[in-house]
A and B are shown apart, each in its own frame.
Chain A
Amino acid sequence: MSLPTNLKYTKDHEWTKTDGKIVSIGITDHAQSALGDIVFLELPKVGRELKAGETFGVVESIKAVSDLYSPVTGKVVEIHQALADEPGKINSNPYESSWMIKVEIKNPSEVEALMDSKQYSEYVSKLS
């Protein structure tokens, strides 16, 4: 799957999409593939204040449990409940439509510091 060029990426294999002050967060194709068949998604409550690097939820495949990390500081303004109801959709298309939470950020530089698609692609290719 080719990486969307309009997104920014983290070393923990999350992607972010910025729309003004609102940042959507999901997991990358590499992450969903490593996890396998996703059967559970736990999301935070709307209104929760997140710090960059903090766990905001949990995604589980049949055999694996993985924490979800927020790469940005801000307030959760929306959660994707329909995705939590059908988390298998993350496997079929992890980007855009499989956003998990939307965070209202204060500091845009946190997003700017993340990897672009080219950098993330190189980062993934170096992981064995």
Chain B
Amino acid sequence: MSKRTALYDEHVALGGRVVEFGGWDLPVQYTGLADEHKACRTAIGLFDVSHMGEFIVEGDRALDFLNTLVTNDLSKISDGQAMYTAMCHESGGIVDDLIIYKRSKDKFFVVVNASNTDKDFAHAVKIKKMFPEFASVRLDNDSSNYTQIAVQGPRATELVQSFSDQDLSKVKTYWFTEGKFSGEIPCFFARTGYTGEDGFELYVPWDMGPKVWRALVEKGTPMGLKPCGLGARDTLRTEMKYPLYGHELDDDTTPLESGLAWVTKLDKKTFIGKDAITKKKESGIKYSLIGLKALGKLIPRQGYTVHDGSDRRIGLVTTGTFAPSLGYSVAIARVESGFAKVGTKLKIKVRDNFLDVEVTPTPFYNKEKK
């Protein structure tokens, strides 16, 4: 049976259509995907992301342990700062993508994908055991203790500020602060998100979730807030070409072929997967993750094949959708690297037809140019 977040009753009361996702019962939409997507781009979108997993990593060697575990270089961030990274197998395939929040030099808060939480925790435990010097590091799966609510959109910060005892204007993107929500509820205010909009992700005690959610809905609705389901979360992240595990990322593909070279620091002394990834880089990266813009009306979907001008299959769509902010369809695809150049004309096979597409710069959606 699927798990329910603390906000399940709120979703039902708001007319959310609940579906199973990553082992959780969550709303795919409330009033309608397009409306919710637009509310997030123009005002405020409110998301229940409590299904995400949270780990606590603490101790004198916590930083070294995490830096061995993940591909990005955690020594580069300060207290109160967050970092996006991948975590790999020895083979170089991706275990998951995650965000690490540095609370202090020996306290870290790690957020992972819902459907990977158990796998990730088992992986972290395994790696910790491989290195006796990390025996003293505390590693806890604290996932069931947090309600996570994402408040995203041009008016999101204004709304969150009205409930926060912290000066959020001082919290830069990918930084966070710890304080109180409504003067009483302990809360991490993290300026992170998955929509391409400004805003915050709030971590509060699990059972405080409904109180926080209701307060945000009540005050935010006159400001244009809409609760958003998984559907809008997916179209919003796709317009930004943010990867989603199971689509762009998987156990068998390295970060270099998944658009995550920027968080893979091969100059770092060591990390799990480094040797395999380095070898891959030296032998030449065969595939690239690119953005494709549909030039016709057909809609590309995950699993559809990508072809060159002579119909030869050169790749696969990892995510495809109609993009509500753009008015046309887009796809994220993994293709042979020779076809990754912006402007390259390709085709996607949609049922019995070919859809003309063009390699396009990403993010697909650009706030300044909208």
Which residues of A come within 8 Å of B, CB atoms? 36-37, 39-40, 42, 58, 60-63, 65
Whether B297 sits at the interface, judged by CB under 8 Å, is yes
Distance of A31 from chain B, by nearest CB (Å): 14
Closest B residue by C-beta to A55: B351
B356 → A minimal CB distance (Å): 15
Known pairs A36-B231, A39-B322, A40-B322; A61 contacts B33 (CB<8 A): yes
Do B301 and A62 touch (CB < 8 A)? Answer: no
Is B324 in the interface zone, CB < 8 Å from A?
A: yes
**Would you list 6 pairs from A and B whose C-beta atoms are within 8 A, ordered by A residue?**
A37-B32, A58-B351, A60-B322, A62-B321, A63-B231, A63-B235
Inter-subunit contact B33/A62 (CB<8 Å): yes
- Residues of chain A within 8 A (CB-CB) of B43 are none
> Bound complex: CA of A42 vs CA of B235, how far in Å?
22
Complex Cα gap A42–B301 (Å): 15
Q: Is B298 part of the contact surface with A, judged by Cβ < 8 Å?
A: yes
Complex Cα distance, B271 from A110, in Å, reads 66
Known: A62-B235, A62-B324, A63-B234. A37 touches B301 (CB 8 A): no
Question: Which residue in A37, A58, A60, A65 is a CB contact (below 8 Å) of B33?
Answer: A37
Chain B residues within 8 Å of chain A by Cβ, number:
16
A40 and B299 contacting across the interface, CB-CB below 8 Å:
yes
Contact indicator A62/B231 (Cβ below 8 Å): yes
Q: Is the CB of A40 within 8 A of B297?
A: yes
Give Cα A65–Cα B297 distance, bound, in whole angstroms.
14
Q: Which residues of A contact B322 (CB under 8 A)?
A: 39-40, 60, 62
Partner of A36, one of B33, B234, B297, B298: B33
Asked if B29 lies at the interface with its beta carbon under 8 angstroms from chain A, I say yes
Q: Which of B278-316 contact A (CB under 8 A)?
A: 297-299, 301
CB neighbors of A among B1-57 (8 A) = 28-29, 32-34
- Shortest Cβ distance from A10 into chain B, in angstroms? 22
Write the chain B residue with the least CB distance to A65: B301
- The distance in angstroms between the C-alpha atoms of A61 and B231, with both chains bound, is 11
* Distance between Cα atoms of A30 and B28 in the complex (Å): 16
Give, as a whole number of angstroms, the nearest-CB distance from A38 to chain B. 10
| Chain A residue at smallest Cβ distance from B29 | A36
The interface residues of chain B lying within 8 Å CB-to-CB of A61 are 33
- CA–CA, A79 and B234, complex, Å: 33
Docked Cα-Cα span, A36 to B324, in Å, equals: 13
User: Contact: B234 with A40, CB < 8 Å?
Assistant: no
Contacts of B29 in A (CB 8 A): 36
Please name all residues of chain A whose beta carbon is closer than 8 Å to the beta carbon of B298 when the two chains form the complex: 40, 42
Residue among A39, A40, A60, A63 with most chain B CB within 10 A? A63
Return B305 CB to nearest CB of chain A, in Å: 16
How far, in whole Å, are A28 and B297 apart by their CA atoms in the complex? Answer: 24
- B33 touching A39, Cβ below 8 Å: no
**In the bound complex, CA of A62 to CA of B327 (Å):** 11
Complex interface bits, B320-344 against A, C-beta within 8 A gives 1, otherwise 0: 0110100000000000000000000
A18 and B4 alpha carbons, distance in the complex (Å): 46
**Which residues of B from 209 to 241 have beta carbons under 8 Å from A?**
231, 234-235
Other than the given A36-B33, A62-B321, A63-B231, 17 more pairs (CB < 8 A) read: A36-B231, A37-B32, A37-B324, A39-B299, A40-B297, A40-B298, A40-B299, A42-B351, A60-B299, A61-B33, A62-B33, A62-B34, A63-B33, A63-B234, A63-B235, A63-B321, A65-B299
Contacts of B325-370 to chain A: CB distance below 8 A = 351
Complex CA distance for A71 and B231, rounded to whole angstroms: 30
| Cα–Cα, bound, A58→B322 (Å) | 15
A58 to B297, CA, bound (A): 13
Residue-wise, chain B 148-186 has the 8 Å CB interface mask toward A (1 for contact) of: 000000000000000000000000000000000000000
Q: Name the one of A36, A42, A60 contacting B32, with C-beta atoms under 8 angstroms.
A: A36
A residues near B321, Cβ cutoff 8 Å:
62-63
Q: A37–B301 Cα gap in the complex (Å)?
A: 16
Q: Which chain A residues border B235 with CB–CB below 8 Å?
A: 62-63
Task: Give, as a whole number of angstroms, the nearest-CB distance from B60 to chain A.
Answer: 47
CB distance from B303 to the nearest CB of A (A): 11
B89 CB, nearest partner CB in chain A, Å: 30
